[in-house]
Amino acid sequence: MTEIPEHLLKRSQARKGGGDAAAAAAAPATTPAVAASAAPAVAAAKAEVVPAGPPPPKPDIPVVAAYKARKKIPVWAMITLSILPLWLFMYVLALKPIAAKASGPLGEGLKVYSNCGSCHGAGGEGIGSAYAFTNGSVIATFPHIEDQLRWVKLGSAEYVSAGVQIPGDPNREGGPHIAGASGGVMPAAGKGLGLSDLEILEVVCHERYDLGGAEQGTEEFELWCSPEAPAYLALETGEATFDDVHTVIADKGIIEIGSVPVAGTTAE
Ligand code: HEC
């Protein structure tokens, strides 16, 4: 609302009440004065009026009005919702199967040994014609792990038919073990029992280091049977098999395992 300055109001009232004559008489005298005085007065009035009251706010457009009138999400719900992705992440983590090879060759080998214990005994103590592994016996037969890997993979029948008599150390303390001499048959863990090269390595590590009593931390252990052993990892990733692990890891002096019976090697 624009205020009308006081003196202008008064003058307009006076005109209405004073009649035409007074107005006519006053007019010439007052007009220049009015013109002179009214202009700054109006300007002053304007200057006064503008800051006096802020303009009425424009009504919101419908979208904004709807936004302002919306139902707000309660704080507890916002907190709950914001935690949801974290919860989902933990849920997925919990669902993921534990890495299969977390326990390394020895832990895995213990599981694979369920294929062997019925003949060799749960603790590798030996039953009947199936030799014991304990008290260093299996290490004496196979000073080099490669010869044992080959033997376990191929089994006794292949050695006998190939005419390879001694799968391990010919100078074995207490006499060499001769293929077929025990009177029993050692099944081929590869073709016969269907174990992979990796599983055969795992069970052989278990036989040597858990049952046979070989000392861990040796060069052989670090190359084949520790969880970070390069030969074990090469087999695990499929980079190598028994046929080529000696060339895949070329600088470690690995004896060729291969896929046919070969006479075993001496301790040195
Ligand atoms: C059916 C019974 C049987 C099963 C199952 C069996 N073995 Fe044998 N194992 C034998 C017999 C019998 C011999 C001796 C063979 C011979 O005289 O030629 C033998 C010999 C061995 C030897 C040689 C030990 C030494 O000091 O001369 C090793 C090593 C061996 N087995 C490992 C295994 C592994 C590893 C498994 C499981 C994957 C396994 N065996 C499963 C019966 C078995």
| pLDDT tens per residue, range 179-224 | 999 999 999 999 999 999 999 999 999 999 999 999 999 999 999 9
Q: What does pTM read for this prediction?
A: 0.69
Residue 66 has pLDDT above 90, yes or no: no
Q: Which 3 state secondary structure label does DSSP give 197?
A: helix
Task: Please list the residues that pair with 127 across neighbouring strands.
Answer: 130
Whether ligand 1 lies within 6 angstroms of the CB of 149 is answered as no
Cα 209 to middle of ligand 1, angstroms: 17
The pLDDT value recorded for residue 36 is: 47
Cα 135 to middle of ligand 1, angstroms: 16
- 167 and 177 in contact (C-beta within 8 Å)? yes
Q: Which 3 state secondary structure label does DSSP give 130?
A: strand
Cα 117 to middle of ligand 1, angstroms: 10
Cα-flanking dihedrals φ and ψ of residue 164, to 5°?
A: -90, 110
Domain residue ranges in the chain: 1-53, 104-252
Task: Please list the residues that pair with 130 across neighbouring strands.
Answer: 127
pLDDT tens column, 222-264? 999 999 999 999 999 999 999 999 999 999 999 999 999 999 9
The pLDDT value recorded for residue 78 is: 86
Helix (H) or strand (E) holding 49: helix 6-52
Indicate the residue type of 152.
V
Flag the least confident range among 89-93, 117-121, 196-200: 89-93
Give the distance, in angstroms, between the CA of residue 60 and the centroid of all CA atoms in the same chain: 50
Assign a CATH topology to domain 104-252. Answer: Cytochrome Bc1 Complex; Chain D, domain 2 (1.10.760)
Whether ligand 1 lies within 6 angstroms of the CB of 161 is answered as no
Q: Looking at ligand 1, which atom is closest to the CA of residue 177?
A: 27
The pLDDT value recorded for residue 175 is: 95
